[in-house]
C-alpha cells in the first residue's frame, strides 16, 4: 500500500474511532514497538532498538496521561501503577538492552491488548443489539396512519396487536 494511502487510512481510522478503540490502538502500537526493539536488540542494532523503546515509552506516557482519576479512582490507581511499571521498565531496558525486561513489558502489554480487544468487541456487540442511550420513542404525528374508510370518516390505523 502506498505510504500516502496508508497515512490517509490511519488518519480516518483514528478520527472515527471510539475512545476504547483509540486506547486499544495505542496499546497495539506499544506492543509493535517492543517487538521491534527486541528484534533490533537481538541483531545488536543499538540505535534502532533504542528508538523503538523510546516510541513505546512515549505511547505508555500517553496512556498514563489519559488516565482519568475522576471516573473510578481505585481502578485508575491500579492502572496507573501498572503503566508506571511498564514505563520504568522500558526506561531501564533502553539503557541495558535487557531482553528479559522487554519480554516482561511485552507480556503485560499483550494482556492489556487482549483485554481492550474484548472491551471493544463487547461494546460493538452491545451497540448492535441495544443502544447504550436509547432515545425516547418519537410520537407519530396525527394523520400519518389515517385510513379513509368507505363511509368517508377517517379512522386510525395501528400496528399494535
pLDDT score recorded for residue 5: 72
Residues in a beta bridge with 155: 147
DSSP letter for 4, please. H
User: What domains appear along the chain, each with residue ranges and CATH number?
Assistant: 3-130 (1.20.120.340)
Q: How many residues does the chain have?
A: 161
Q: pLDDT tens digit string along 14-63?
A: 676 788 888 899 999 999 999 999 999 999 999 999 999 999 999 999 99
Residue 57 backbone class (left: φ over 0; alpha: ψ -120 to 50; beta: rest): alpha
Task: Yes or no: say if 38 and 99 are a contact pair by the CB < 8 Å rule.
Answer: yes
Helix, strand or coil, per DSSP, at residue 25: helix
pTM of the model: 0.71
pLDDT one-digit tens code per residue, 93-130:
999 889 999 999 999 999 999 999 998 898 888 755 45
Residue whose entry in the numeric block shows the C-alpha cell 374508510: 149
Number of H helices, E strands in the chain: 5, 2
Amino acid at each position: 500500500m502506498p505510504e500516502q494511502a496508508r497515512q490517509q487510512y490511519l488518519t480516518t481510522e483514528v478520527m472515527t474511532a471510539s475512545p476504547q478503540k483509540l486506547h486499544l490502538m495505542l496499546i497495539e502500537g506499544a506492543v509493535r514497538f517492543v517487538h521491534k526493539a527486541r528484534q533490533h536488540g537481538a541483531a545488536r542494532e543499538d540505535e534502532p532498538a533504542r528508538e523503538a523503546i523510546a516510541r513505546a515509552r512515549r505511547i505508555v506516557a500517553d496512556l498514563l496521561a489519559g488516565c482519568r482519576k475522576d471516573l473510578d479512582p481505585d481502578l485508575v490507581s491500579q492502572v496507573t501503577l501498572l503503566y508506571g511499571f511498564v514505563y520504568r521498565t522500558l526506561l531501564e531496558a533502553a539503557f541495558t538492552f535487557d531482553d528479559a525486561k522487554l519480554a516482561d513489558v511485552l507480556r503485560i502489554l499483550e494482556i492489556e491488548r487482549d483485554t481492550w480487544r474484548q472491551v471493544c468487541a463487547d461494546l460493538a456487540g452491545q451497540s448492535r443489539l441495544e443502544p447504550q442511550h436509547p432515545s425516547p420513542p418519537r410520537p407519530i404525528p396525527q394523520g400519518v396512519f389515517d385510513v379513509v374508510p368507505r363511509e368517508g370518516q377517517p379512522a386510525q390505523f395501528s400496528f399494535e396487536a
